[in-house]
Each structure stands twice: as C-alpha cells, then as structure tokens.
Amino acid sequence: MTASHDVLVIGGGGAGLRAAIAVAETNPRLRVAIVSKVYPMRSHTVSAEGGAAGVAADDDSLDEHAYDTVSGSDWLCDQDAVEAFVHEAPRELLRLEHWGCPWSRQPDGHIAVRAFGGMKKKRTWFAADRTGFHMLHTLFQTVLSFPEIVRYDEWYVTKLLVDDGRTYGVVAIDLATGRTETITASAVIVCTGGCGRVYPFTTNANIKTGDGMALAYRAGAPLKDMEFVQYHPTGLPFTGILITEAARAEGGWLLNKDGYRYLQDYDLGKPEPTPVMRSMELGPRDRLSQAFVHEQAKGRTIDTPYGPIVHLDLRHLGAELIDAKLPFVRELCSKYQNIDPVTELVPVRPVVHYMMGGIHTDIHGATPIQGLFAAGEVACVSINGANRLGSNSLPECLVFGARAGRAAALFAGLYGGRIPPAVMAQGRDEEDRLERELTRHLDGRERIADIRTEMQITMENGSGIYRDRDSMVKAFDELQELQARFADAAIDDHSRTFNTELVALLELSFMLDVAESIITCALHREESRGAHQRTDFPARDDERFLAHSLVQREPDRAGRRVRYLPVTITRWPPGERVYGR
C-alpha cells in the first residue's frame, strides 16, 4: 500500500510539530503529514523541565547569548548558526506565547526569565518547571487547528527511501494493525530526537532510541559530532529522572558527602549564598559532571545501591519558592525518591541527557541528501558544539524546526513529482524485510533485552564522561560482537497487532548503529573538548580538531569513514572557557 504527501515529518515532538506548522504556514497548498511512533503529546519534549533561552530582558543582548553559547560549546559550534539561533529564538518563544503557552510571568504581566547554567544573563523563559510539557501541548493543540496537517500516530518508520542522492519518502509500520506502508514525499524532515537509551543510565524516555539518526546514517547521510554526549549533573539515582538545572538556578547547592560545595575546587568560582551567573552550580553541564567524577575518585561521594551520589540541597529555598518555581521537582522527589526537598537533601548523580551530535545539516536544516531535512536533537547544525547550554535545546527545536519546515516547503514546492520505480522497489523490499523480521527470529537464541543491556554497559564503559583509546577500542569490538549476536536475536511475539517486541528489535538495531557511530567519532577525536574528555589526550587541540567530525557509511555499508569539517567562526575566535572568575 502507498500513501503520498508533499512534506513528511518524522517525529511529533517540539521540532516536528513546529516544522509541520511552518510547512502549513509557508505553503497551505502542500499536503503535510507527521508520522510518529507515539501520539505527539507523548513525545520526549514533554519531559523538558527548566526552560527555553531567548533574549528578553533590557540588560541582555543577542551578542551575549551568542557568546555564552559559543564559549559553552568550547568553540565547536558554527557561529553563523548560533547568530541565527539567538536572533530567532525570542521571536519563536513569543510565537509560542501567542499560541497559548502558559509562560510564567512577572507581576506586571510580562514574561519572566530565570538564570541558567553557563548563561551570563537571565534569559531562560519557563513555565514553572514543566516547560517542555507546556510547550509540547501548546504546539500539539495548535497543530490541531490546522486541519491540513495529517497525522500518522503510532506509526513506526523503518526506512528512508533514498535514490541517487535524493529522498522520496519512508516505509513505516502502523503499530495497531501491523500493516506496512510506503509513504512517499517530496521532502522528509527528521525530528525524532536523541538516543539516550544507548546508555544504561539516562534521563531519556524509553522512546529515545536514535531512530532518526540511524535512518539517515543508513541512507548515507553523515552524522556529525556524535562523540559529544551530554551528562546532566543531576539525575535521581535508579530511575535517572531529571532534576532540572533550574533547581540550581533558583539557588540550589551541590554538596559532597562532607556537606561541602565541592565545585569551588574545580575552577568554577567561589561559593556565594545566592546564585552567581556562570559560576559554581551555574557552571556548564560538562564541567559539573566532570567534577563529580573527580569527587568520586577522591572518595567524597556517597555510595548507594544505585551508584555513587552527591546531594542537591534546596532546603534553604523554602517551600514557597519551591512550590512556585519548582513544583515538579518536589513532585518527582516525593514520588520517586520518597523525600521532600523542602526539608531533605536530594540524592543526584550525572546522567546521560542529550546528544550534541546528530544528522549533519546546514543552517536551514538541510542534509546532504536532497529533500532530507532534520531539526531538533536528532540534528547537528551545530549550535551546541562540544557542550550544549541548558535551555538552548527547546528554542533550538523551535528555531530550526521552523527553518527546516520552511526549507522543506520550498523544496517540495519546487521539486515535487514523479517517484522513480527504483524507490517503489526499495519500498517493497523493505516491506518484505519487515515481514521476515516478524518470523525469521523464530529459532533465535539471544534475547533483545540482553543485547540491549550489554550495549548500554559497553557504551558507559567505553564512552562515558572520561574516555581513552583502550576503553573505546574495547567498546568498539564489543559492539561488533553485539551486532553479530543481534542477527541471532529471538522474538517471542509474531502478532501483527501492536507488536512492541518487533519495535524493540528494530529500535535495538538502530541503537547499535548509533552506538557504533558514537564510539567511532570518539576514537578519532584525539583531544579533550567539552563533553568529550580523553584521559589520553587531556588538552584541547584547536590545531587538529577545531572541526566537526562527520561519520558516514561507506556505500557498500561494510565500513565507515570519518572526516572533518572546519568550524564556522564569525566573530568569536577560540578562547579559554572561563567560569566563576
């Protein structure tokens, strides 16, 4: 069976919904559709807590936001992209305000902004500490007002159809019925988010399995800067549930087992009773997570059944502030940790949170494959470089979702038309393959969960907060082995109706590819920068590596190739990252 659209968006989160609206607004005649493996309001944008950065205050400027972002990225971002980003972010956030997003307000009715890590000024818009939830639902409900936007809810895309360097659509499974379908489109926008589930301990939802990255990678698109994996310094032990950076921005402290604000030992400034911008607890996430590892090495963390922890102290903030600005933090602590942050210390540890890397795109969201666009966490423009600043990712979804939507609309308007027969054949082949996946593993011996767990442990050991060549080579070999074992993975479930095991199998296969790309890029980058810290190459090396790594499959799919693309520098030459002084 086939369906046909002009623009097809894969993923119904912040970037995907914004992109779909942009398409509909740019050219209302285009037939635009969103394919998502979950209902859009279940997308992982929903879990974002702290806020969305966009210059709003009188004492702030676009240049300062740009500089914070550039220095936060350890100079690995593209500065033209950052300039476009900081320029358009406030406008996008305002647009969301017009669509009904319940932003927190000042007493006079203007938007309120809060401090955030690595930002010199208060510029983070927030809706209490459920910012992502409110943004997602606002976008989703706004999408409902566009009847021309068609949705394929709970459809899982398994393949991008690419022929001769141009994309023509996807093959997807309707989960409820198990039906596979070729959905053609003149332009495809990938907005599937990140891949935190490649790691064992992550804030990411179960659905964050790097599908879009793997789809593009398999279709021949390069992935960029995949070695940069952000560890958020404050996740709850066991669950990995995120405790937002806003908790520290509102004045929370990080304490080691002696009750000591240990960040002062790591060149992050002096402890002050109230928060100081770009200092101490308001430093960037990479530096804070690294500081934790050093504390652990010094034996100053606290051991628990769920690993070593430090404490986040919010007690001095008082119940009133916590209820007004951090109600979700209080709810999460009480539900999942049985503690009340008003009176008790919150146990936290670093947790995999975000992929700086992703599908290589230009500042319009276009990938090297014609007609293929990407936006949001799945893409790498790059504005995040080696380390993303907290609250830059939500506006990134909006700014680059909208840009990709406009570019895709333009592309589809110009280059619509006939689908080559080879593409339809590809579609049929993929449908056949899925049919085989459903039955071929009848006699398999490996369990999906076992391979997945081993992959996650391999990734943590091989490319955690600190890496070195030996650990990564070992991890790479283990991944090869896991790929081989995957071929022998069994599935118990051969039903066509809502077969979540088949989805888990396909997700695992995507994750294995993404994991491989992460390790490959990390091995090749012989320096330390931002979130990529190598004990065997502890210094930043601008001479060799002030460049994006691009990893791409060889056409025969057997090997992979890494090359480097110079970073775009417009106004801020590489310098030292200074925090707290």
Partner 1 sequence: MADEITLEVVRYRPELRIEPVVQSYQVPLREHWAILDGLTYIKDHLDGTLSFRWSCRMGICGSCGMTVNGDPQLTCATFLTDYAPGPVRVEPLRNFPVIRDLVVDIGDFMDKLPTVKPWVIRDVDSPVEEGEYLQTPEELDEYKQFSMCINCMLCYSACPVYALEPHFLGPAAIALAQRYNLDSRDEGASEREDILSSPEGIWACTFVGECSAACPKDVDPAAAIQRYKLTAATQAIKNFLLPRGAR
Partner 2 sequence: MSLYHRPIPLFWWLERRSYLVFVLRELSSVFVAWFVVYLLLLINAVSGGSAEYERFLDRSGQWWLVTINVIALVFVLLHAVTWFGLAPKAIVVRLRGRRVPPPLIAAAHYAAWLVLSAVIAWVILR
Q: Tell me how far, at minimum, the Cβ of 498 lies from partner 2, in Å.
A: 9
Give the integer Cα–Cα distance in Å for 521 and 526.
10
User: DSSP letters along 319-351, please?
Assistant: HHHHHHH-HHHHHHHHHHH---TTTSPEEEEEE
* 98-101 contacts, C-beta under 8 A, 24 or more apart: 99/138, 99/139, 99/142, 100/138, 100/141, 100/142, 101/127, 101/134, 101/135, 101/138
Give the integer Cα–Cα distance in Å for 541 and 507.
36
Q: Tell me how far, at minimum, the Cβ of 499 lies from partner 2, in Å.
A: 12
Q: Tell me how far, at minimum, the Cβ of 446 lies from partner 1, in Å.
A: 12
Q: Tell me how far, at minimum, the Cβ of 174 lies from partner 2, in Å.
A: 9
Burial of 373 from C-beta contacts in 10 A (0-12 / 13-18 / 19+) = buried
Q: Which is nearer to partner 1, 42 or 548 (CB)?
A: 42
Q: Which is nearer to partner 1, 305 or 421 (CB)?
A: 305
Q: Tell me how far, at minimum, the Cβ of 495 lies from partner 2, in Å.
A: 11
Among the listed residues 177, 206, 480, 570, the single contact to partner 2 using CB under 8 A: 177
Say if residues 217 and 250 touch (Cβ distance below 8 Å). Answer: no
Pick one of partner 1, partner 2, none as the site partner of residue 108 (Cβ within 5 to 8 A by kind): partner 1
Pick one of partner 1, partner 2, none as the site partner of residue 137 (Cβ within 5 to 8 A by kind): partner 1
Give the integer Cα–Cα distance in Å for 362 and 55.
23
Burial 41-70 (b: 16+ CB within 10 A, else e): bbbbbbbbbbbbbbbbeeebebebbbbbbb
Give the integer Cα–Cα distance in Å for 143 and 276.
39
Among the listed residues 176, 297, 484, 487, the single contact to partner 2 using CB under 8 A: 176
Q: Report the DSSP beta bridge partners of residue 544.
A: none
- How far is it between the farthest Cα atoms of the chain? 68
Q: Tell me how far, at minimum, the Cβ of 113 lies from partner 1, in Å.
A: 12
Q: Which is nearer to partner 1, 241 or 482 (CB)?
A: 241
Q: Does 497 bind partner 2 (CB under 8 A)?
A: yes
Pick one of partner 2, partner 1, none as the site partner of residue 145 (Cβ within 5 to 8 A by kind): partner 1
Torsion 219-225-226-231 (CA) sign? negative
| Distances in whole angstroms, Cα of residue 516 to Cα of each of 234, 473, 480 | 27, 11, 8
Q: Tell me how far, at minimum, the Cβ of 335 lies from partner 2, in Å.
A: 23
Q: Does 414 bind partner 2 (CB under 8 A)?
A: no
Q: Tell me how far, at minimum, the Cβ of 111 lies from partner 2, in Å.
A: 22
* Among the listed residues 509, 506, 524, 533, the one whose alpha carbon sits nearest the alpha carbon of residue 560: 524
Q: Which is nearer to partner 1, 151 or 553 (CB)?
A: 151
Told to judge if 452 belongs to the known catalytic residues of this protein, a careful annotator would answer: no
Place of tokens 């309001």: 41
Catalytic: which of 18, 232, 278, 532?
232
Say if residues 527 and 225 touch (Cβ distance below 8 Å). Answer: no
Q: Which is nearer to partner 2, 52 or 175 (CB)?
A: 175
Dihedral of the CA atoms 482, 483, 485, 487 (nearest 10)?
Answer: 160
* Among the listed residues 329, 339, 345, the one whose alpha carbon sits nearest the alpha carbon of residue 258: 345
Pick one of partner 1, partner 2, none as the site partner of residue 460 (Cβ within 5 to 8 A by kind): none
Q: Tell me how far, at minimum, the Cβ of 459 lies from partner 1, in Å.
A: 18
Told to judge if 294 belongs to the known catalytic residues of this protein, a careful annotator would answer: no
Q: Which is nearer to partner 2, 176 or 578 (CB)?
A: 176
Q: Does 500 bind partner 2 (CB under 8 A)?
A: no
Give the integer Cα–Cα distance in Å for 285 and 117.
7
Pick one of partner 1, partner 2, none as the site partner of residue 535 (Cβ within 5 to 8 A by kind): none
Pick one of partner 2, partner 1, none as the site partner of residue 425 (Cβ within 5 to 8 A by kind): none
* Count of residues interacting with partner 2 (CB under 8 A): 3
Torsion 334-336-339-344 (CA) sign? negative
Q: Which is nearer to partner 2, 176 or 473 (CB)?
A: 176
Catalytic: which of 65, 248, 532, 540?
248
Say if residues 226 and 210 touch (Cβ distance below 8 Å). Answer: no
Q: Which is nearer to partner 1, 196 or 252 (CB)?
A: 196
- Cis ω for the linkage preceding 382 (within 30 of 0): yes
Which residues contact partner 1 by CB under 8 A?
A: 38-39, 41-44, 46-47, 91, 94-95, 97-100, 102-111, 130, 133-134, 137, 141-142, 144-145, 147, 153, 176, 205-207, 238-239, 241-242, 328, 331-332, 335-336, 447-449, 490-493, 495-501, 504
Pick one of partner 2, partner 1, none as the site partner of residue 457 (Cβ within 5 to 8 A by kind): none
Pairing of strands 489-490, 446-447: parallel
Q: Which is nearer to partner 2, 206 or 495 (CB)?
A: 495
Q: Mask: binding to partner 2, 128-167, rule CB under 8 A, as x and -?
A: ----------------------------------------
Which residues are the active-site residues? 232, 248
Residue ranges in contact with partner 2 by CB under 8 A: 176-177, 497
